[in-house]
Amino acid sequence: MKAKDILNKVIKKEISVKEVVQRYLSNIQKQNSFYNAFITVFDEDFINKQIERSQKMIQEGNFSPVVGLPVAIKDNINVKGFPTTCASNILKNYISPYNATVVEKLYSAGAIIVGKTNLDEFAMGSSNENSFFGPVKNPLNPKLVPGGSSGGSAVAVASDMVTLSLGSDTGGSIRLPAAFCGIYGIKPTYGVVSRYGLVAFASSLDQIGAFSKYSEDLALIMQVISGYDPYDSTSSKDFIPDFIDESFNIKLSIKDLTNIKIGFPSKIVNDSAVEDIIKNSITELLLLLEKNGSIIKEIDFPYLEYSIPTYYIIATSEASSNLARYDGVRYGLRVEAQDLRTMIKKTRGEGFGLEVKRRILTGTFCLSSGYYDAYYKKALQVRNLIKKDFENIFKEVDFIIIPTSPTLPWKIGEKINDPIKMYLSDIYTVSINLAGLPSINIPYYNDYFPVGIQIISNYFTESDLLSISFLIENLTK
Ligand code: GLN
C-alpha cells in the first residue's frame, strides 16, 4: 500500500496507528533475519510510546505528512538512546547522546521510528557487503546485492518492513540501492536537508535523503525532513520545502510532460561498460517521453570520465580526516594496551574493516605534503570543471536522464575482492554529489528486472524532480 493511502486511512480513523505499525512489525519479524536489513529494531515499549503520541496527535486533529507511518533510519544517523553503529566494530557499543535533526523532525511529525538499518561500514561501499553485521540480501533475488551503502534502508522499504526510510548519499548510496531494489530514492541538493546528527563520511558530499515505493510518498517525507537548520552551517537558509498541499497530495510544479527539455548524453548507448538492458530501458523511456511531448536533447559531458578518480580522492581525503576521531579515547571501542600509541593502533586496527582502512590510507596519502597538490588540489580543480559542465547543461535543459548504475545488481561476493570494479559502479552517481545537485532514482519495470534510471535537476528544484518522477510513474505503471 502507498504510504499516502495509509496516511489517509489513519487520519480518517479507518485504521489505528497501532494496527498499521503491528502489520509492519510483523513483516520485520518474519523477514529481517533473512534479509538482514535492520541492525537494531527498537523495543516494544519505545515503539508503543511513539504510537500513543502519534494517535493522540490524530485525535487532536494535529495532522502531518507522516503521522502514524512506520519509518526506518540508516544506522549512521543518531537516534537518542539507541546505538549508532555505522555498521562498524569500532562503534558497535556506541549509544547516541542526541537526535539528528531529521529524527527530531520525524518525531515531531508523529512518524513511528522502528529501528536502524544496515549499511556498508561508515557508508563506504556500493553493495552493502562491507558491514560488520554481514551483508544485506536483495528482495528481488536474495543471491544478489541490494546496492549500497544504504542497502538496509532500501530493503526495508522494498520488502514492506516500513513505509519509508532515510539513507545518506555521499556518492550514490541512496540512488544505487534504490535502483537495485526497484524503488524510488532521492538525494537532495546539498544543503536542503540538515546533516546534524549524521555521522560524517565526506562532509562536502554527504546528504541525507529518503526511500519509498512511490514518488508521492517521497514528497511526504521530504516535506518533513527538509529545510534550514541552525545546527548545520551548510544548510540553506533560503530553501522552503513546498512539495505537498493541505490534503497531503503532491504539489505538481510541472503539470505535464509537454515541452519539457530533457538532456541525454547519447554516448552512453555506445559504452560497452553499460549493460544492454540498461541501455534499452533508457531508450524506451526516452521514446515514451518524446511521444508525450518532451524534447530530448543531446548533451555533452566532457568531464564525466574524471568523476570516479575525482570523487575517490576527495571522499577518501575527507574521510581520513573525519575518521581520525575514532581513537579509542572519545568514542566506542577501546583495545587496552600498555601505552597510548599502542592503544590507538590496536583500537583502530581491530575496530575498522578492510574497506574503511583502505579509504583512510588512500585519503591520508592524498593529503600528505608532497602529494597534496598533485592529488587533492587537482581533484578540487576537476570538481569545479564537473560543476561547470552541469551549469552549462542546465542552460539548455530542465532535466538530465542517465542510468543510475551501468549494470544490474551483481551476485553477493562477486566484486568484493576487486575494489576498483566496485568503485566503477558509481560512475553515474558520484558527479552529482561533486556538483551538489539533486537527483532521484526511478525504477523502470521491464519483463526481466527493474532498471534504475536517474533524473537530475538544477539546484533546489526538488519540487520539479518529484513532479517529473510522479508524471513518469503514472505514465509507465
Ligand atoms: N559507493 C560510494 C562509496 O563507496 C558512495 C557511498 C555513499 O554514497 N555513501 O564511496
- Tell which atom from ligand 1 comes closest to the C-alpha of 148: 1
CB-based contact 180:127 (threshold 8 Å):
no
SS3 (DSSP) at 357: helix
* Helix 17-35 and helix 3-11, axial crossing angle in degrees, nearest 10: 150
Q: Cell numbers 510522479 label which residue?
A: 470
Q: Which of 54, 131, 149, 439 is catalytic?
A: 149
Strand partners, 169: 207
pLDDT digit string, tens, across residues 365-384: 999 999 999 999 999 999 99
- Specify the pLDDT at position 446: 87
Determine how β-strand 207-212 pairs with β-strand 164-169.
Answer: antiparallel
| Residue (of 63, 64, 110, 127) closest to 414 by Cα position | 127
Ligand 1 atom index nearest CA of 423: 1
Answer yes or no: 212 catalytic: no
Low-confidence ranges of the chain (pLDDT < 50): none
Distance 225 CA to ligand 1 centre (A): 22
Q: Check if 426 has its Cβ closer than 6 Å to any atom of ligand 1.
A: yes
Q: Is 149 a catalytic residue?
A: yes
CA of 81 to the centre of ligand 1 (A): 27
* pTM > 0.95: yes or no: yes
- Check if 129 has its Cβ closer than 6 Å to any atom of ligand 1: no
Question: Does any ligand 1 atom lie closer than 6 A to the CB of residue 356?
Answer: no
Residue 84 parent element (H or E): none
423 CA to centre of ligand 1 in angstroms: 8
Q: Which residues contact 169 (CB under 8 A, 6 or more apart)?
A: 150, 175, 187, 206, 207, 208, 209, 429, 433
Q: Examine the residue annotation and report whether 126 is marked as an active-site residue of this protein.
A: no
- Condensed to tens digits (0 to 9), the pLDDT of residues 379-435 reads 999 999 999 999 999 999 999 999 999 999 999 999 999 999 999 999 999 999 999
Residue 297 phi, psi dihedral angles, 5° rounding: -120, 140
Please give the sequence-ordered ranges of beta strands (E in DSSP) within 46-119, or none if there are none: 70-74, 112-117
Structural contact between residues 157 and 191, judged by C-beta atoms closer than 8 angstroms: no
Residue among 124, 169, 320 whose CB has most ligand 1 atoms within 8 A, to mutate: 124
Q: Is the CB of 169 under 6 A from ligand 1?
A: yes
186 alpha carbon to ligand 1 midpoint, in Å? 15
Pocket flag, ligand 1, residue 429 (CB < 6 Å): no
pLDDT value of residue 209: 98
Per-residue model confidence (pLDDT) at position 477: 79
Catalytic residue among 4, 64, 74, 126: 74
- What domains are there in the chain, each with its CATH number? 3-225 (3.90.1300.10)
| Residue whose C-alpha is closest to residue 394's, from 286, 272, 297 | 297
Q: Is any atom of ligand 1 closer than 6 Å to the C-beta of 173?
A: yes
Q: Whose CA is nearest to atom 10 of ligand 1?
A: 124
